[in-house]
Amino acid sequence: MITVRNLEKHYGGEAVLRDLSFSVEAGEIFGIVGHSGAGKSTLLRCLNGLESYQGGSVRIMDREVAELDNEGLKALRRGMGMIFQNFNLMGRKNVFENVAFPLQIWNRTKAETKDRVSELLELTGLADKRFERIHNLSGGQKQRVGIARALALNPGILLCDEATSALDPETTLTILDLLQDINSRFNLTMVVVTHQMEVVKRICGRLLFLDKGQGRSLGRTEDLFLSSEKTLKKFMEEEYTLLPSGTNIRIMFPREIARQAVISAMARELDIDFSIVGGRLERYLDKVMGFLIINVPDGSLENVLRFLQEKNLPREILDDGRDAVERPR
Ligand SMILES: Nc1ncnc2c1ncn2[C@@H]1O[C@H](COP(=O)(O)OP(=O)(O)O)[C@@H](O)[C@H]1O
Ligand SMILES: [Mg+2]
């Protein structure tokens, strides 16, 4: 669907995207995560032909974007919907007028436009807001309008640029659920760009980490949990203050094992005192997984490691110099 190979993008002398390669398959929700300034928005503008690029290749449905003429670019953009952090809606117009806008640009008849807008408002849960002015809507409702408008011309691809970054966590979840629902109902390919790890790991099947214009594939989202890559950990703010003595161990609960039960069994069976440094439960796609960081006194380390191995729990020793994931066979 989308193939990017060795993409180079400069503004003046400054390289913004460097030797970037990845591909997005039809029907998947592909996530691109990275800090502010990493080049995410620039990348999306290269995909939809709003920006030129200086090297490499961007192919959308087997056509090289740089080789498209004006007509080709128009068709490309019609086939790609886009939603934004600040919604980019016409604030003084109503919901209907905003969603109808692309249909009018492409000369759909009044009747066609009315039908299509009704369908879209139904889909996005806005049927009762049809004639509401945009500036009377909540952030979540505005983004629903943005989504309805982006889908008006039946695009094959939806580009989402920080689409939930202006929303509170609860509203973010409702918008992500809507995107997921649309993806599975219409098999719509989505590229979700954000600085929020929470967002991509909730709905994206595969992830790319964009760092100063360079990409690193993070693979499948469910595998991310077990990854021990340093930059990524830091990005995910998993830096806990480790205790200086003893050994700090991160225990992962990749299946929905009752964490509390394992921990109390360990304390009981091994008869040791360990302290809990930190931990949390996280949701990756539809799975809930958790980790816990414990600190074990020196004399008990071997027993604890053996216990974890017996329980088949992946764990990682976090102290400097001994930093490697060791998984049970
Ligand atoms: N039109 C532009 N002209 C010059 N530099 C730009 C332009 N757009 C973005 N940049 C620069 O490119 C880099 C990446 O920006 P951007 O793609 O907006 O990052 P992100 O979306 O990941 O926050 C930044 O350093 C930014 O200052
Ligand atoms: Mg951006």
Domain-ending residue, one of 230, 247, 268? 230
Relative to the CA of 210, which ligand 1 atom is closest?
22
Could you tell me if 209 and 242 lie in one domain?
A: no
Of all protein residues, the one whose alpha carbon is nearest to atom 1 of ligand 1 is 11
N-terminal to C-terminal alpha carbon distance within the chain: 37
Relative to the CA of 43, which ligand 1 atom is closest?
17
Task: Give the total number of structural domains in the chain.
Answer: 2
Pocket test for ligand 1, best of 11, 20, 46, 165 (most atoms within 8 A of CB): 11
Could you tell me if 129 and 267 lie in one domain?
A: no
Under 8 Å between Cβ of 240 and 45: no
Q: Which pairs count as long-range contacts for 17-25, CB under 8 Å and 24+ apart, including other chains?
A: 17/42, 17/43, 17/46, 17/53, 17/213, 18/212, 18/213, 18/214, 19/56, 19/214, 20/56, 20/210, 20/213, 20/214, 20/215, 21/56, 21/215, 22/208, 22/215, 22/217, 24/189, 24/191, 25/1, 25/189
Of all protein residues, the one whose alpha carbon is nearest to atom 7 of ligand 1 is 11
Alpha carbon of 211 to ligand 2 centroid (Å): 13
Give ion ligand 2 contacts, CB < 5 A.
40-41
Q: What is the pLDDT of residue 329?
A: 38
Under 8 Å between Cβ of 183 and 27: yes
Could you tell me if 186 and 76 lie in one domain?
A: yes
**Tokens read off for 240:** 């806990």
CATH of the domain at 210: 3.40.50.300
Q: What is the pLDDT of residue 326?
A: 43
Could you tell me if 288 and 247 lie in one domain?
A: yes
Under 8 Å between Cβ of 232 and 56: no
Relative to the CA of 34, which ligand 1 atom is closest?
22
Domain-ending residue, one of 195, 230, 265? 230
Q: What is the pLDDT of residues 212-269, one digit of tens each?
A: 999 988 888 877 766 766 666 666 655 567 778 888 888 888 766 667 778 888 888 8
**Tokens read off for 191:** 């590229």
Could you tell me if 317 and 204 lie in one domain?
A: no
Q: Is this structure's pTM higher than 0.85?
A: no
Residue 218 CB contacts under 8 Å (≥ 6 apart), including other chains = 33, 206, 207, 208, 209, 224, 227, 232
Q: What is the pLDDT of residue 324?
A: 40
Domain-ending residue, one of 230, 246, 262? 230
Whole-number Å distance between alpha carbons of 231 and 200? 17
Residue 315 CB contacts under 8 Å (≥ 6 apart), including other chains = 249, 250, 251, 252, 305, 308, 326, 327
Q: Which amino acid is at 164?
A: T
Extract the residue ranges of the chain whose pLDDT is less than 70: 225-226, 228-240, 255-258, 320-329
User: What are phi and psi for residue 87, nearest 5 degrees?
Assistant: 70, -35
Q: What is the pLDDT of residue 328?
A: 42
* Domain ranges, residue 291: 232-326
Under 8 Å between Cβ of 34 and 194: no
Could you tell me if 19 and 82 lie in one domain?
A: yes
Could you tell me if 95 and 226 lie in one domain?
A: yes
Could you tell me if 41 and 186 lie in one domain?
A: yes
Could you tell me if 124 and 239 lie in one domain?
A: no
Whole-number Å distance between alpha carbons of 211 and 218? 12
Under 8 Å between Cβ of 163 and 144: no
Under 8 Å between Cβ of 183 and 29: yes
Could you tell me if 123 and 204 lie in one domain?
A: yes
Task: Tell me the longest C-alpha to C-alpha distance in the chain.
Answer: 78
Could you tell me if 221 and 129 lie in one domain?
A: yes
Residue 312 CB contacts under 8 Å (≥ 6 apart), including other chains = 328
Relative to the CA of 36, which ligand 1 atom is closest?
23
Whole-number Å distance between alpha carbons of 165 and 172? 8
**Where do we find the tokens 């807001």?**
129
Of all protein residues, the one whose alpha carbon is nearest to atom 17 of ligand 1 is 39
CATH of the domain at 295: 3.30.70.260
Q: What is the pLDDT of residue 156?
A: 96
Could you tell me if 256 and 192 lie in one domain?
A: no
